[in-house]
A and B are shown apart, each in its own frame.
Chain A
């Protein structure tokens, strides 16, 4: 049986930034191989795994790309300026550890920007740099070239019995859920496509081309959503709690999920005695919207994992939510439509 914590650990080892998903794609392909009839990688790099069946064609998608950084300029002292790949706030990154392929480094704030009194969102990617410990430009260039990508450096650790702190719960935990669901779905009356998509963090691009190619009857994304059970000066921004079960997306700023599909998920969850939470977000977006708007429209929804500290190297999730999400997804995929 695939065990979520170890799976997450294994996936984080292979974390790859948006647009450069080759490594994570290969790692997931190795893990997924025993569970599907065939697999292929499309032009953008989406990994498409197929479990053949005669019923409805269902596409499930979790994105395998991770937010990260790309080197754009190395100054004469070997400090590296980067472009963000995906949604980052530059000010939150100060003193955060990252790693390029060959070397680790840390984000620092430029003295000039600090002296100018810049704080919060005034700080941009022009104000921060990565120190890899180089002394000169030439020294840095032996380890990092313009165009090289970096990811968060951080371990996946257990917090108590059920929770983990990890980089890239978004969305490697979603990938873990999808892999686990594949394992549980070894036979199904439906024609199942499990897609590990690329470039979600840059605007859900992989899901768009994958869905266009697959032409699904139904689509289900697996992603993370912000948990509301953290201290906040104002009211909680939502009621979603870690350990409260996987969430079923009703809406976010890019999509209104299929009501029928959500009803089905809820009834499957009730029948299996799985707790779920409804997810209503005013921001954000996932692969769901791109799949929903494919060709002449596809009923789509999303199962999410409640996550704290989204887009930070210390995301916290409850692994029971992942396992229960996989159970719910697999049971839904096995049902007759």
Chain B
């Protein structure tokens, strides 16, 4: 699992540019797939038969894209102005190593030195429009030889294991979900299942919309990553999920209401098998599940790994939580299949 996570998190895939990730996943999935194809928006569909065929298709999905940036313009002195693709707090960008475009040109986002700032300036968080990536170019012309407007940029962050069973890296959201789906593809399945690796989740569940429209599934399990908020600066009643507390099961978020009958079946099964799980208790945020209103409607199940510092260069997750997500994703196929048998 670690090797797979490391491979996936090292790939770049900002919304609209998921090709690297898609090609890796397609290659890994092909030996287990009965059918595999990519749709017009770039989502990868993998079908695997199980022991039984449900009356309405069931679908598991995880998104391939990660939050990142696009180069908006290049200044006269060769700096790259950027726009965010997905939700990123500009405060986490300062001092970061970045890489730009397919050829992974190294760069830095930073601020002028403390010696040159006023106290007032230091009290305020910089806005994204004031930040830029420095790729060490002498001027616009030389920068343009390496980078074009529209190229993507991502965090340059090493994937590593650390602490007690923890991992850190960029793009854990949602390469963890992709890894879980790939591992599940290797297993014998109780029911036929579509595994969909979606695009554009971070800018509004766009790949999921076309995927759900195409398959019109009866049940959908979204395997994502979510905000672990068990951090010292967040009081208990504002926490949503906690790392080390197991797989996260969604009740509701701003994009979807998760079906309670399906949820109850899966949590009962998880309890029987002693798989650790917790609810996601905050309503803020949305996932690919928000696309459940396409087609004639589907019963939604939301499953996530709790990830600290999500949408940052170094997100942190706990391996046993991921193992719990893996087990509950398998239970989803059994229970969703059972409901559509």
Contact = CB atoms under 8 A, between A and B. Distances in A.
A147 B279 contact: yes
B132 to A, nearest CB: 35
Most buried by B among A46, A85, A147, A199: A147
B297 A42 contact: yes
Given A81-B237, A147-B251, A43 B297 contact: yes
Most buried by B among A72, A85, A146, A199: A72
A213 B281 CA distance: 32
A83 B283 contact: yes
A44 B292 CA distance: 9
B218 interface: yes
Contacts of A206: 297
B257 A202 contact: yes
Contacts of B279: 146-147
Given A20-B260, A70-B251, A199-B257, A43 B298 contact: yes
B295 interface: yes
Contacts of A212: 294-297
Interface residues of B, number: 23
Contacts of A20: 257, 260
B236 A75 contact: yes
A71 to B, nearest CB: 9
Contact of A85 (B237, B239, B252, B297): B252
B238 interface: yes
A-side binding surface: helix, strand, loop or mixed?
A: mixed
A307 to B, nearest CB: 24
Nearest to A145: B279
Contacts of A262: none
B141 to A, nearest CB: 48
A216 to B, nearest CB: 14
B283 A126 contact: no
Q: How many residues of A sit at the interface, in one of the four size bands?
A: 20 to 34
A35 to B, nearest CB: 24
A19 interface: yes
A43 B296 contact: yes
B2 interface: no
Contacts of A43: 56, 218, 296-299
B257 A18 contact: yes
Nearest to A147: B251
A327 interface: no
Interface string A113-133: 000000000000010000000
A84 interface: yes
Contact of B237 (A18, A73, A84, A199): A73
B5 to A, nearest CB: 30
A97 interface: no
A83 B143 CA distance: 49
A81 B252 CA distance: 15
Nearest to A19: B257
Interface in B281-299: 281-283, 292-299
A209 interface: yes
Contacts of A19: 252, 257-258, 260
Interface string B71-89: 0000000000000000000
A126 B238 contact: yes
Nearest to A202: B257
A20 B298 CA distance: 15
Most buried by A among B237, B257, B294: B257
Contacts of A205: 257, 292-293
Contacts of B299: 43-44
A205 B299 CA distance: 12
Nearest to A21: B257
Given A84-B283, A205-B292, A209-B294, 20 more contacts: A20-B257, A20-B260, A43-B296, A43-B297, A43-B299, A44-B292, A44-B298, A70-B251, A72-B283, A75-B236, A126-B237, A146-B279, A146-B281, A147-B260, A147-B279, A206-B297, A208-B297, A209-B293, A210-B297, A212-B295
Interface of B: 56, 218, 236-239, 251-252, 257-258, 260, 279, 281-283, 292-299
4 closest A-B pairs by beta carbon, nearest first, are: A19-B257, A209-B297, A44-B297, A72-B281
